[in-house]
Structure 1
Amino acid sequence: MRRRLIQSTLAVVLVVIAVFGVSLVIVESRTISTSAQERVDSEAVRLVGIVDSRLLGSEDVTAEILRDQVTQDRYAVIRIPGRAPIEIGQKPEGEVIHAEELGEGRESVRVEEPKSAVTREVGRTLLIIGLVALLAVVAAVLLAVRQANKLASPLTDLAETAERLGSGDPRPRHKRYGVPELDRVADVLDSSAERIGRMLTAERRLAADASHQLRTPLTALSMRLEEITLTDDLATVKEEANVALTQVERLTDVVERLLTNSRDPRTGNAVSFDLDEVIQQQLAEWRPAYRSAGRAIVSSGKRHLQAVGTPGAVAQVLAALIENSLMHGGGTVALRTRVTGNQSVIEVTDEGPGVPGELGARIFERAISGRNSTGIGLAVARDLAEADGGRLEMLQAQPPVFGLFLSRTAPLKKSTETDEPTVR
C-alpha cells in the first residue's frame, strides 16, 4: 500500500508538471522571442531618428559617431542615398533577428541580432523551470512518503490489533493516529476488545462458578447413590432414592441459575419462603459428610422465619458456608436464625481456628483462600446473596461467624401499568 500511495502521488505530480510545465515553456519561449524582436525594432527606430536629425542639421553621419548608439553584440547597417553603407559591429552568422526602418531622407537602417542570444535566454528559462519541476518532484516524493507512512503504519497496527483479537488477546491498545477515519476504526476495535474481554472473563467466571457450585450437589448425589448400592433394605433404598431425586432437582436449579446469571445477573425469581425448609434440607444433605468426618451439624434459633429471595440461591449460599466449615473449620457447625430489624439472619459458625488475620475482609475476594482450595466459594456465595437483594458478611473471624442477611418483606416495585408503587 505504501508503494502504491507513493506511485499515485508521484504520477499526479508528474502529470501536473507535464501539463503546466510544457505550457509554461511554450509561453516563455514566445515571450522571449517577442521581447527580442521588440528590442531590435526599437533600436532600429531609434537609430533612424538619430540619422534623420543629423542629416536635417547637416551634421556628419559616420560609424564612429553612431557606434555608441548600437547595443553591443548587435550589427547595424545604415544606407544613405549617394553614400557608402555604414556598418557598425560585426555581422552575425547563422539565423538572426532583424528590423529595418526607412527615414524621411530615404535613408534606411537595418539592425540584426544573433538568434543564438535568444536561444541562450530560452535555455536559461528552461533550466530554471526544470529545477523548479525537480524540486516539486522531490517535495512530492517526500510528502508522499510521509503521507504513506502516516496512512500505512496505522493500517498495519489496526490489522495487528484485529489479528490479536482473533487469536484471543482482547487487550485494547488505546492508540490513535490523528486521522479521524482511522481513529474511528481504532475506537471500534478497542470497544470490541473490551467487550470480548468482558465476555471471556464472564465465560471463565461461569466455568469456575459452575465447577464449584455443581461439585456440592454432585457429591451429595454420589453419596446417596452409594448408600443405595450398600443396602438391601427396600425402604432405605426408597428413602435414599427420594433424597437423590431432591438432589437432582437442586442440581437442575443450580444449572438454570448459572445460565440465567450468565445472561443477566440482575434476573431473579425472589419469593417469600420459610427459612426452616432450606435449613433442614441442608442439614439432611450434609449430615452424612459430617458423620464421615466425625463431626456434627446442628441448627438453632428462631423458627419459621420468612425471608424474601430465591430458595435455590439461599441453599447454595448455605451450602458454600457449610462446606467451607467442613474443609477449613473444626468441631460442631451450628446454623442459628435470628431477626434484626426488617431482616432475617442465618449465622453459620464452627469451633475451628477461624479466618487468618492476614486475610480479613479479603476472604470474599476471588482466588483468596486460606488453604489449598479454589478460593471462589465465598465470592460466589456473596454474589448469589447480593443478586437476591441480601448480603453475606463475616461477623467474627475467631471463632468464625458468617451471617446471611435476607429481607423479610418484598421490595417496592413500580407497576408497569401505573406510576403507583406496588408490592411484589
Structure 2
Amino acid sequence: MKRRMINSLLIVVLVVVVVFCVPLALVEKRTIVSSAQDRVDATAVRVLALVESRLAAGEGVKEGRVFESQVTEGSYVEVQIPGQPVLSAGDRPAGNHLLRAAEHGTSGEIVTVEQSREDVDHEIANNLLLLGVVALLAVQAAVALAVWQAKRLARPLTELAETAERLGSGDPRPRDRRYGVPELDRIAEVLDTSAERIARMLTAERRLAADASHQLRTPLTALSMRLEEITALAEEPETVKEEATIALQQVERLTDVVQRLLTTQRDPRSPTAVAFDLDEVIKQQVEEWGPTLREQGRVLSLEGLHGVTAVGTPGTVAQVLATLIENSLMHGAGTITLRVRPSGTSVVVEVQDQGAGVPADLGNRVFERAVSGRNSTGIGLAVARDLAEADGGRLELLSLKPAVFALFLGRSHQD
C-alpha cells in the first residue's frame, strides 16, 4: 500500500512538472531570444540615427570610431554609405547562428548589426538548468510528502487491522484512538462500539454461566440428598415413594431454574409474576432443607403469618429463600428462623440465624458480586437480589447482628 501511494503521488507530480515546466521552458527560451533580438535591433536603430544626424549636419562619417560608442559589447556593426567605403566597428562573430538586424536610412545608408548567440544560448541553458533544479526539488519534496502521507495513512490502517484481529481473538477492549482522518475515525469508532458490545455480550455470557452454576448447585445438592435417602430407605416402600415424589419436585424445580435463567438472559423484563400461596413455597423449603439441617444439627423455625397470598414467581421466591437458607447454613449458626410479617401493602419473609452476623465492613456490600465474608463465591446473594428485583420484589439486609435478610414481596388484594 505504501509503495502504491508513493508511486501514485510521484506520477501525479511528474505529470504536473511536465505539463508546467515544458511550456515554461519554451516560453522562457523565446523570451530570452526575443530580448536579445530587441537589443540588436535597438543597436542598429541607434547607429543609423547617429549616421543620419552627422550626414545631415555635413560632418560626414569617415571611420567606424564615430559610432563605436553606440555598439554594445559582443556586437559587430557594418555601415554602408553610398559613395564611401564600408565602415565597421567591433569583432565580427563566427558561425551561422547569429542575431542579425538591418536598418535602411533615407539617403541609402544601410546599417547591419550582428551578434553571436553564444551568450543567449548560455543564458537559456542557465534558465533551463534552474528550472530543472526546481523540478527536481519538487519531485523530491513530493516523494518525501508521499512517504510521510503513506506512513500517516498506513499506520492507522495497521492499528485498525490489529484491533479487528483482537476482536476476532476474543479481546474486546476498545482502543479509543482517533487519527484526524474522518473515514478512518469512523472505522475506529465503529470498531470501538463493536468492542464494547462484544464485551457486554461476553460479560453477560460469563455472568449467566456463573449464575447458572450457582443457582443449580443448591437444587442438585438437595436432589442428591433425597436420592441418598431413597437408597437408605429402600426397604420402606411408602417412605421411598414419598422421597421419590420430593425428588421429582426437585427435578421440576431444577428445570424451572434453568428455564428462568435462559428466559431472563433473553429478556430480563419478561413478566412472570402471579398470585401464589406463600405457605407452599415455605413448606417446600422446609422439606428440601430438612436432611441437611438434621445432618448439621440445625433447626428451621417458622414464625409469623400463615395463609398469605403473595405476588411473584413461586420458583424465583423459592430460589431466593433457598439462597438465604444456604447462606445461613454456611456462614451462620444455631436456629434458622423464617418469619412472615406484613409491611404496608407488602409481605416480608425474614431469614435470621443466631450466628456472628455480617461484619460491619461489609454491610450492604454483601449483595455485590465477588464480595464474601468467607471462602465462598460471593455470587449467591447478588444473584438472589437480582432475581428478587426482576420479580418485582426486593431483598435487603435489615440487621448485621444477628444477620436478618428480608425478602419484600407484593401482597395479593385477596388477603
Give the structure-1-normalised TM-score. Answer: 0.94
Equivalent residue, structure 2, for 1:39: 39
Asked if 1:272 is matched to 2:275, the reply is yes
Measured after TM superposition, the shift of residue 259 of structure 1 is 0.5
C-alpha separation in 2, matches of 1:351 and 1:268: 36
C-alpha separation in 1, matches of 2:266 and 2:193: 20
Alignment of 1:166-245 (within 5 A): 166-231=168-233, 232-245=235-248
Equivalent residue, structure 1, for 2:86: 85
Consecutive unaligned residues in structure 1, runs of 5 or more: 411-424
1:112 counterpart SS class:
strand
Measured after TM superposition, the shift of residue 138 of structure 1 is 2.5
Identity of aligned residues (%): 63
2:384 counterpart SS class:
helix
The one-letter code matched in structure 1 to 2:227 is L
Post-superposition CA distance 1:82-123 (Å, at most 9, x none): 222211111112221111122112111111111111111111
Asked if 1:408 is matched to 2:411, the reply is yes
Measured after TM superposition, the shift of residue 130 of structure 1 is 1.3
Worse overlay, 230-239 or 197-206 = 230-239
The one-letter code matched in structure 2 to 1:201 is T
Post-superposition CA distance 1:32-83 (Å, at most 9, x none): 2222223212321232222122112212323222111111111111111222
Worse overlay, 121-130 or 333-342 = 121-130
Equivalent residue, structure 2, for 1:63: 64
Equivalent residue, structure 2, for 1:145: 147
C-alpha separation in 2, matches of 1:87 and 1:304: 143
C-alpha separation in 2, matches of 1:317 and 1:284: 16
Measured after TM superposition, the shift of residue 23 of structure 1 is 1.7
C-alpha separation in 2, matches of 1:42 and 1:90: 18
C-alpha separation in 2, matches of 1:307 and 1:77: 132
C-alpha separation in 2, matches of 1:141 and 1:265: 59
* Number of aligned residue pairs: 410
1:357 counterpart SS class:
coil
Equivalent residue, structure 2, for 1:420: none
Moved runs in structure 1, 4+ residues, more than 2 A? none
Worse overlay, 105-114 or 35-44 = 35-44
Post-superposition CA distance 1:170-227 (Å, at most 9, x none): 1111111111111110110000000000011001100000000000111111111111
Equivalent residue, structure 2, for 1:287: 290
Measured after TM superposition, the shift of residue 409 of structure 1 is 4.8
C-alpha separation in 2, matches of 1:333 and 1:175: 56
Equivalent residue, structure 2, for 1:11: 11
- Asked if structure 2 preserves the Cα contact closer than 8 Å seen for 1:40 and 1:99, the reply is yes
The one-letter code matched in structure 2 to 1:244 is A
C-alpha separation in 1, matches of 2:190 and 2:19: 44
C-alpha separation in 2, matches of 1:89 and 1:258: 114
Match of 2:114 among 112, 115, 135: 112
C-alpha separation in 2, matches of 1:299 and 1:327: 19
C-alpha separation in 1, matches of 2:390 and 2:236: 43
Alignment of 1:339-358 (within 5 A): 339-358=342-361
2:67 counterpart SS class:
helix
Worse overlay, 286-295 or 261-270 = 261-270
C-alpha separation in 2, matches of 1:10 and 1:199: 48
Equivalent residue, structure 1, for 2:307: 304
Consecutive unaligned residues in structure 2, runs of 5 or more: none
- Asked if structure 2 preserves the Cα contact closer than 8 Å seen for 1:268 and 1:310, the reply is no
1:334 counterpart SS class:
strand
